[in-house]
Amino acid sequence: MNQIKIVVICVLASFIMSGFLNPIGLISGPVAESFDIPLTVAVARFGYFTFGVFAGYLLSFHIFDYVRLKTVLIVGYLLIALSVGGLYTFPSPTALAFFLFNIGLFASVQVCGASTLVSQIWSGKPRQTVLIAQDAMFNGGGIVFTAMTTWFLTAQYHWASVYVVVALLTLLISSIAATTDIQTYKNAEADTDIRTEWNVRILAVGVSILLFMTAKISIFIWAPQFVEQAFNASVEQSGRLLTNIFIGAFCGSLIGTYVVSRIKIEYFLIAMLTLGGAGLSLALIVTELDSVLIAGYLIGGSIGATFNAYTAFGLSCVRSPTHKHVAYILFAGGIGSAIAPWFSSQIVNTTGNVQDALSACLAIQAIVLVSVILLAVSQRASLRVPPAPA
C-alpha cells in the first residue's frame, strides 16, 4: 500500500500541473470580463503563473538540499490550495498576478519533487514506466480539465471553479504524503568525479526547445480564442478544440512510447515536428470549423511526446549525460513556457488578430524543425569523425 501511495504522489503531480496550465486558453476571456481588462492583458496576467513555474525550477535546485522531500510535498500542496483560495478572497488584478505566481511556483516544485522521488526510488524500466505515466497524466489532465472548464463556463460558474477542483486534489495528495513512508536515497557516487561536458549541440538543443515551448504554450492559450474570432464559435466549440488537442496529445504520448523503441530519436522528433506544423497549417487555412477541430488531433498528437523526445535527443548530443544536462533542458523549456503568454499577447495586441499569434507559432515550429535537422546532421557527422591517434 505504501508503494501504491508513492506511485500516486508521483504521477498526480503532472496531473495537478495540467489542471492549472491547460485551461488558461478557455478562462482568459472570463478573466478579462471579470476584471474589466482587455483580453491580451488577461492572457499576459497568466504569464505570472508560467514565470512562477520557471522560478520553481530554480528553487528546486536548492530546496531539497535543506528541506525533507516529504515536508516539501505536504506543505507545498497546502500552499497551492491556499493560493487558489486567494483567487476567490481577493478579486483584484494585482492579487490575481500574485496568487498565479505562487501557484506556478509551488506546483513546479512539486513536479520536480515527484521526479526526484521517482529517480531515487526506482531505476531501469520501473523508473521509465513511472516517468512515462507522468507524461500521460499531464495529457490526460488536459482532456479532463478542459472538458470540466467548458462545463463550468457554460453553466455560468466562476472562472476559477476548475482551479477549486484542482485545489481539492492537492489537499488529497498532501494528506496521502502525510501518511506515506517516503524514503529517498542519495547517490553514493561523488558528483565531483563526473565532468559535465558542454558543446555547441547541447546548447543549441536548449535554444531550440525554448522556442518549441514558446510556440506550444501559445497554441494552448490562443487556439480557443482563434476559433471564436475566426468562426464565431461558442464556448462549447472552442472547448472542444482544446479537448481534441489533448486527446491527440494523450494518444501521441502512448504511441510515442512504443515508436521510440523502434526508431532513432531524431527521426521521431522530426516526424512529430512535421506533423505539428501540418496540423497548425491546416487549422489556419481551412474555412470550416469541423476541419479545425480535426486539425486539433494532429496538433495534439505532435506534442504528446515531443518534450521527452527533445530531452532524449539533447542527451544524445553528449557522451556522458549528467543531471546538469537534464536541468539545462528543463530550464530552457521553462523559459519558453514563461515568456509564451507575454510573447503571444504582444502579437495579438499589436495586430488585433489572434490568427497572427498562431501564424507566428507556425513560423517558430518551422525554425525548430530546421534546427533539429541541422543538429541531427551535425551529430551524425561528429560520429563519423575517427578518434585522434594515441
Residue range 312-327, pLDDT digits in tens: 777 778 777 665 676 6
Tell me the three cell numbers of residue 116: 526526484
Which is more confident, 324 or 8? 8
C-alpha–C-alpha distance, residues 70 and 5, integer Å: 13
Which is more confident, 196 or 45? 45
pLDDT value at 112 more than 50 = yes
pLDDT of residue 119: 63
Domain with CATH 1.20.1250.20 in the chain: 1-184, 194-383
Q: How confident is the model at residue 99 (pLDDT cuts 50, 70, 90)?
A: very high
- Whether residue 246 contacts residue 301, with contact meaning beta carbons closer than 8 Å, is answered with no
Average pLDDT over residues 361-381: 89
For the chain, what percent of residues have pLDDT higher than 70?
A: 87
pLDDT value at 387 more than 60 = no
pLDDT value at 227 more than 60 = yes
C-alpha–C-alpha distance, residues 10 and 384, integer Å: 41
- Whether residue 202 contacts residue 328, with contact meaning beta carbons closer than 8 Å, is answered with yes
Q: What angle, rounded to 10 degrees, do the helices at 235-259 and 124-154 form?
A: 170
CA of 83: how far to CAs of 80, 87, 201, 253, 290, in Å? Answer: 5, 7, 40, 31, 38
- Whether residue 18 contacts residue 139, with contact meaning beta carbons closer than 8 Å, is answered with yes
The mean predicted confidence, pLDDT, of the chain is 83
pLDDT value at 130 more than 60 = yes
- Residue ranges of alpha helices (H) inside 90-160 are 93-121, 124-154
Residue range 242-295, pLDDT digits in tens: 888 888 888 887 787 677 667 777 888 898 899 989 999 999 999 899 999 999
Please tell me whether residue 304 adopts helix, strand or coil conformation.
coil
Domain 1-184, what fold? Growth Hormone; Chain: A; (1.20.1250)
Residue range 153-191, pLDDT digits in tens: 989 899 999 999 999 999 999 999 999 887 654 443 444
pLDDT of residue 192: 44
- C-beta neighbour count of 254 within 10 angstroms: 17
Tell me the three cell numbers of residue 197: 561536458
Residue range 321-346, pLDDT digits in tens: 665 676 677 788 888 887 888 899 89
Please tell me whether residue 192 adopts helix, strand or coil conformation.
helix
pLDDT value at 43 more than 60 = yes
Residue range 62-94, pLDDT digits in tens: 787 788 888 999 999 999 999 999 998 888 888
Residue range 348-368, pLDDT digits in tens: 989 888 899 999 999 999 999
Identify the CATH number of the domain defined by range 194-383: 1.20.1250.20
Residue range 30-42, pLDDT digits in tens: 999 988 888 888 8
pLDDT of residue 129: 62
For the chain, what percent of residues have pLDDT higher than 90?
A: 28
Residue 205 burial by CB count (10 A; 0-12/13-18/19+): exposed, middle or buried?
Answer: buried
* Residue pointed to by grid coordinates 506556478: 104
